[in-house]
Every structure is written in structure tokens, then in C-alpha cells.
Chains A and B, each alone.
Chain A
């Protein structure tokens, strides 16, 4: 083949173009640290990159949510602790009242103390976290419990809420969040199930539930009236009530544990996703630098040859 001036320079130019084009790409990779700087750099990697990027976002959001929920559950637990204490103290008072050693005056004192425990329970039941009522279900801006002026201990009927000592103003929905996609988990208790034993909020105490307020009130009346049968019954009911609180508390405790585990899982997943994302997206810096070295050498060689070509001319020999 005849190699003319044009052929030579065209060849040199197209090679210089290619080498400097490659160098541009390598430099871009080393500066950005990324292998994929635009979709065409690796079209196959685009979908995984966008997918894992959104998975990372999602994991981190879930983790934040779960941490918040964990915090809320701790506060809830301290409320439940208070409630349990109230129940224990009421039982102690009840035992003292029921013992033969107590006289009428003692019983009045005990009854008064139970009355103040009632107030304390009322206070706990209307507790707020972050200006939101804890036990009102979804109606978090509404104070869940108010005293029922129509209550009298004589016509108390567990299946008729108008006769209860306390009216529930919340609803029967316990707060639920997701501990992962499609993995709902309860992080709240409704006032009706915890205090009134009416989990379905149908305004009638469930068969396996008990109204703590009514228990205290009725117990108080029984003590005041020295009603031995009422007091015995009250004591048993107190035990049932305490059991209701403990059961729900341990449910929440379990959920808190699940939430903690889920948060850890998301933490790990997020790290894992980041690694996978990096394997798709990030440049191997060592490899990039050595490639850059190689290309610099190639460019130098090409420039050298170019310079030599222009120095070598038949005209010098004529």
C-alpha cells in the first residue's frame, strides 16, 4: 500500500483522537470515582444502580421510622409501668382493707386512697407523648377518657357503656406502622382495650376483658360499704385487671424487640445495598490509575511518532 502524507497524518490523528478520548473517560472516572457517569457508560448497570439507590433510601427511611417507633414504645412502656404500679398498690390496699384488723375508719382511708389511685389511673390514661394522646387510638388530639357523671356503682352494667364510671372518647384503632414492606406491626394500644377491656370498642366489656376503672370504683364502694363479698370479688378482679395490663405490656415489649431487630436488619441491608451499588457504580480506583498511566504512555508514544514523522522528509535528501 502506498502510504501518502495524508494517510500518515490521518492515521496519526485518528489514533491521537482515540487515545485522548479514552484518557478523557479515564480521567472522568478517576475524578468522579464513578464508573458510570452517564447512562451509556453501562446501560445494563443503570437499572440495578437506580434500584439499589432507591433500596438504600428505603432501608434508611424504614430504619429511621423504626427508631422513632422504638422511642415511642419506650415511652409507652413507662406509662404501662405506672399503670401496673397502680394496680399493685390497689391490690395491697385491698388486702389491708379486707383483713380483719381494719376498722371502719381505716376502711374509709383505704377507700379514699383507692379513689386517689383512680385519679392517678385517669391521669395515666390521658397521658400524652409529643402533644398526642397515647391511648385514644387514631383520635390522637382527643383526650380519651372523661368521667361519666351518670355513673353509680349500683347500676353498673359491663355491657352498657352509659353505666361505666368513665367514658371512652377515642376509637378502637391501634397505631400500626410497617416494620418492612407489607409487614405491619402494632406500636400502640388503644385505651378501650387496655383500660376498659373492650378491644373491639363495641361499648361492651369483652368476655375476656375487664374495665379497670369500674374495678377500682366498685372496689372503692365495696370497701366503703364494708361489703365483704364485693371486696373479695374486687380483689379477684384487680388480679384479672393486672393480668390484662401485663399481657398487653408484654405484647408491646415483644413488638419493641421485633422493631429493634427489624431496624438492625435494615441497617445491615443498607450497608449491603451500598456495597452492591458500589460494585455497579464505582470505579476501581487502583485499576483506573494504572489504566491512566498506560494511556499516558500510549499518548506520549503517539506524540513522539507524530513529531518524528514531520521531521523525516525526502526533501532533506535532495
Chain B
């Protein structure tokens, strides 16, 4: 081997170590970059050259700069993002619902109690004006309370729509970027180098997309990844990005995917992630509450009216409903004066007749629902339903977060950047670089010595 050849080996070592130091530097620089996968330099010897029957090594080369990748954990992260997004999106509207159906002293149950309490007081003094006025007041108050609770439910559903609508653009950006990255990865890797940062970015985007709407992925060759919604509706097909759209149908927001010429409408089951969670609350849980609430209200109005119509007012009139439909399903106390309150059972409407007021109060303890639940018990059941849903959500969210953290840690452990490791690598590569440089200097000195022979 010639000295020139030795210089070549030394140079290859210097260059290879320089690359290694650069890569380490890049790793360190990205220590806090989310989704970044550690890159490692793989060194391999240049193939030896046979010179006069001997194999002589030709130095070192950088075979590849590879990206550490843990496929199992990555796909778990995508599906766990889905779960976490779902539970996370539920917690805000559920917290609102908990406020609406409070456990405090101003609940629907306490308004029902006050209403019947007013009738109870009326039965003690059926002719009293103050008692009669209070019955009217509590009746209106109770209706207000129903109205307000129902209104809050509608408002929470609308808030969910506004929230979801605002995310549509962001989702489309992500879908488009994933498709672009698919293209970029294929074209870069066809030239033989690993498109590490593109792959990292794509992984992160998929994870974020999964947290928002819940996706499944599968590879499609050439390093491309296809992305689908639950139910197999494609969002990214190789280099093509579909268009995700929201539109109004009825009084709520619906979604669809446009691909090429066709439009696929989406339903709740197509979604996971934040959309899935929000839609679960919007289309399943809140409607259930609305149904319970209107059942409670209708039953209360019907029963109260039945008993009221059977009684007599101070003016001796009967058959008047206490609550009446003021149009459009909005109910109001239908009596024009407190005298019309039917506290009496006798047709005369005598001022001392409290029998119907007592009847009315009897409703408070009557098992109206399914033969055994009273109005307040039914109201309490609604509140407890909200509580159970919210508690389950809090527990599921806590669990999902823990699992996610655990997975992220596993990912970090497998492919993340450890400063200690990089610093030690840096030291190692630096020493290699130093040694190669020293080697080149030594060869140089040797060549000088050889050249000096002639003098």
C-alpha cells in the first residue's frame, strides 16, 4: 500500500467521523422535537483492494444514516391518540352538563320540591292570597327552570358544532400534508437516501389526525402510508388527499368526504378521536338527557293539570289546566289570576276547601314513573346519570393519558434522543476524528521524510 493510499484511508476516516459528529449534532439539536427519531450513522469498511496478492483495506465509509423506528409502538400511539382524543373531547361538554344539572341546592329537583311545597302551604290556608300567589310564582319558576335547562342542552350542542366546524380546515391541512409527504418520501427514497425527517413529520401528523378524528393506517409500498377513517373511508390514498367537509343538515352539523367525483356522507360511527367523543355527547348523551327532561316535564304538566282540572277555583269554576301550551311547545302557567287556582274539591270553591290542594301535594310523593319513581327521584336520576357519565369519562381519560404517556416513554426509550448517549457518542466520534487527523499528519510527516531523502 502506498502512502498516498494511506492518506486516502485517513481522509475517509476524517470524513466519516465528521458525518458522525454532524449526525450527533443533529440528534442533540432535535432533543426536544416531538416525534423526532434518533438517527444513527452506520460505518462500514471500504472494500479491500487486492494489491500484489494482499488485501489492503481502503478506509471507512458511511454506509447509511438510518432512522430508528419502532413500528409497533408507533401504531399503538396512533390508536391511543384516538382513544385519548375521544375521552378528552367529552370532558369539556360533560363539565358543562354537570354545571347545568348541579348537585347543589338549586337543582331541578329542588324547584319541583318548591312547587309542590307551595301547594302544601296552600293546603294549610287555601283562601290565603299570599299562598296562592306563591303557587303561581313557583309554577312559573319551575317552568323557567325546565326551559333554562333545555336551553342549556341546546346551547351545549351548538357549542360542540362550533368547535368541530373550526377544526375542519386544520384537518384538511393535515390530510393534504400527509399526501404531500407520501410523495416526497417516495421521491427522496428512490434516490437511495432515507427521508427521515419527512417520515417523522408524517408520523406526527398521523398521530395528531388520529387524536382529532381517529384514523387507521396501512402502508402501501414505496414508503407511502394510506390513511382511513373508521369504516374504511379513505382520507389519504397514496399521493391523493380527500377533502373533508362540514355541512348543515337540519339544525346540526354533519360531515362528508369528497373523493374525486363522489361524496361519502359520514356518520358518528366513522369517527374516533375528538370528533367521535364530541359527536357521542352531541348525538347520543345529550339527546338522551333531552328525552328524560321532556319526559319529566310532560309527565309533571299532565299530572298537575289532571288534578288541577278536577278541582275548583275560588270563583267556582273547574276544568282549567294549571299549565297551558303558550304555543310552540312552550308552556306557561295558564291561570289569569290567583283566584283561579283550584285548591277546592267542592264545586262551590269555598275559600276553606283545601282538599284539592292536598291532592295536588300528594303528587309529590306519588310513584309517577314506572309505578314507583317520584318526580324528584326521576330528576335525581338524570343528575346521577350525568355524574356517572362524567366520572366514567374522567377515569377513562386518566387511563388513556397514562397509557399514552407510557407509550410515548416507550417510544422515547426506543427511538428518542438521550443526551448522555449523544454526548458520549460525540466524544467517541471526536476522538476518532482526532486519531484520523493524527494519522494523516503522521503520513504527511512520513512523506516529508521520504521526500527529504533526495536532498
Please report A residues at the B interface, Cβ cutoff 8 Å. Answer: 1-7, 10-11, 14, 36-44, 46-47, 49-51, 53-54, 57-58, 61, 65, 68-69, 132, 136-141, 171, 173, 175-178, 181-182, 184, 313-315, 318
User: Do A173 and B387 contact each other (CB < 8 Å), given the known contacts A4-B412, A57-B113?
Assistant: no
The answer to whether A54 and B113 have CB atoms under 8 Å apart is yes
Give the contacting residue for B412; candidates A6, A49, A132; CB below 8 A: A6
The answer to whether B113 and A36 have CB atoms under 8 Å apart is no
Give the contacting residue for A43; candidates B123, B387, B418; CB below 8 A: B387
Counting chain A CB atoms within 10 Å of each CB, the highest count among B102, B103, B427 belongs to B103
Please report B residues at the A interface, Cβ cutoff 8 Å. Answer: 31-32, 94, 98-99, 101-103, 105, 107, 109-110, 113, 117, 120-121, 123-124, 127, 344, 346, 348, 350-355, 358, 361-362, 364-365, 376-377, 379-381, 383-384, 386-391, 394, 401-402, 405, 408-410, 412-414, 416-421, 423-424, 427
Name the residue of chain B whose CB is nearest to the CB of A137. B352
The answer to whether A39 and B98 have CB atoms under 8 Å apart is yes
10 A-B residue pairs with CB within 8 Å: A2-B418, A7-B409, A42-B387, A50-B103, A58-B113, A58-B117, A140-B127, A171-B346, A173-B346, A177-B124
The answer to whether B401 and A50 have CB atoms under 8 Å apart is no
Bound form: Cα–Cα A7–B353 in Å = 77
Give the contacting residue for A1; candidates B379, B391, B413, B421; CB below 8 A: B413
Neighbouring B residues of A137 by C-beta, 8 Å = 350, 352
Neighbouring B residues of A7 by C-beta, 8 Å = 409, 412-413, 416
Neighbouring A residues of B103 by C-beta, 8 Å = 36-39, 41, 46, 49-50
The answer to whether B384 and A47 have CB atoms under 8 Å apart is yes
Say how far A141's CB is from chain B's closest CB, in angstroms.
5
The answer to whether B98 and A3 have CB atoms under 8 Å apart is no
Neighbouring A residues of B120 by C-beta, 8 Å = 61, 65
Say how far A296's CB is from chain B's closest CB, in angstroms.
22
* Given A10-B412, A46-B103, A318-B427, 16 other A-B residues pairs in contact with their CB atoms under 8 A: A6-B31, A14-B402, A40-B394, A43-B384, A46-B387, A47-B380, A51-B380, A54-B110, A54-B113, A57-B117, A65-B121, A138-B350, A138-B352, A176-B355, A176-B358, A177-B354
Bound form: Cα–Cα A54–B384 in Å = 16
Say how far A73's CB is from chain B's closest CB, in angstroms.
13
Name the residue of chain A whose CB is nearest to the CB of B124. A65
The answer to whether A40 and B98 have CB atoms under 8 Å apart is yes
Bound form: Cα–Cα A204–B187 in Å = 113
The answer to whether B98 and A173 have CB atoms under 8 Å apart is no
The answer to whether A5 and B419 have CB atoms under 8 Å apart is yes
Counting chain A CB atoms within 10 Å of each CB, the highest count among B113, B344, B379, B402 belongs to B113
Bound form: Cα–Cα A176–B126 in Å = 11
The answer to whether B384 and A4 have CB atoms under 8 Å apart is no
Bound form: Cα–Cα A53–B412 in Å = 53
The answer to whether B423 and A315 have CB atoms under 8 Å apart is yes
Bound form: Cα–Cα A14–B84 in Å = 15
Bound form: Cα–Cα A316–B385 in Å = 57
Neighbouring A residues of B424 by C-beta, 8 Å = 314
Say how far B31's CB is from chain A's closest CB, in angstroms.
6
Bound form: Cα–Cα A4–B420 in Å = 8
Bound form: Cα–Cα A1–B70 in Å = 14
